[in-house]
């Protein structure tokens, strides 16, 4: 048995490498939104006039933060929800598919101006005064 220690590298021309780089899918954090408990997330594609429900995954992560004394750890941010979305779609929340279709029809007929009803998360936190 012979072991080859030389690395085999794929070399291509500049335009070929540029095509490969352009084909790679890039995922970015588009934003954080506050969800309403009990509602589902929907995406409306205006070009195809199509309504779909967005799949939401829950991360299995827990952030442990020490308390004031520093002896105990308190779990925080248990099960953060994530959704892969297309930025060209309009996203909104509704109770079910029937109410989502009604909301889209109202939007298309001009009865409501904005289809998106998601609330943006504040970086400053909640103020009580």
Q: How far apart are CA 123 and CA 36, in angstroms?
A: 18
The 10s digit of each residue's pLDDT in 15-72 is 776 766 666 555 555 677 888 889 999 999 999 999 999 999 887 777 788 888 888 8
Is the model more confident about 115 or about 58? Answer: 115
- Produce one character per residue of 93-118: b if its CB has 16 or more CB atoms within 10 Å, e if not: bbeeeeebeebbeebeeeeeeebeeb
Rg of the chain over CA atoms, in angstroms? 23
Number of separate domains in the chain: 1
Q: How far apart are CA 41 and CA 35, in angstroms?
A: 9
5 within domain boundaries: no
Q: Is the pLDDT of residue 98 over 80?
A: yes
The secondary structure of 63-107 as a DSSP string is EEEE-SSSSSEEEES-S-EEE---TTSEEEEESSHHHHHHHHHHH
Q: Residue 119 phi/psi, 5° resolution?
A: -100, 135
* pLDDT cut 90: percent of the chain above it: 36
107 within domain boundaries: yes
4 within domain boundaries: no
116 within domain boundaries: yes
> Cβ-count burial of 68 within 10 angstroms (0-12 exposed, 13-18 middle, 19+ buried)?
exposed
27 within domain boundaries: no
75 within domain boundaries: yes
Q: What is the pLDDT of residue 1?
A: 46
Cβ neighbours of residue 64 closer than 8 Å, sequence gap 6 or more: 73, 74, 75, 76
12 within domain boundaries: no
Q: Is the pLDDT of residue 101 over 70?
A: yes
Q: What is the pLDDT of residue 64?
A: 81
Mean pLDDT, range 105-119, rounded to an integer: 93
pLDDT category at 3 given cuts 50, 70, 90 is low
The token pair that represents 120 in the structure block: 């943006």
114 within domain boundaries: yes
Residues spanned by the domain of 48: 33-120
Q: Is the pLDDT of residue 73 over 60?
A: yes
pLDDT, the chain, mean: 80
Please state the pTM of the whole predicted model: 0.62
């Amino acid at each position: 048995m012979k072991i080859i220690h030389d690395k085999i590298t794929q070399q291509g021309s500049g335009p070929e490498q540029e095509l490969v780089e352009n084909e790679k899918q890039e995922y970015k954090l588009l934003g954080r939104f506050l969800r309403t408990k009990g509602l589902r997330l929907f995406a409306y594609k205006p070009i195809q006039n199509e309504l779909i429900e967005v799949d939401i995954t829950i991360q299995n992560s827990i952030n442990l933060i020490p308390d004031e004394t520093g002896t105990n750890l308190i779990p925080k941010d248990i099960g953060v929800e994530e959704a892969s979305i297309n930025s060209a779609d309009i996203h909104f929340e509704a109770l079910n598919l029937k109410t989502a279709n009604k909301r889209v029809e109202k939007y298309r007929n001009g009865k409501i101006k904005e289809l998106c009803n998601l609330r943006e998360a504040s970086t400053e936190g909640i103020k009580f005064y």
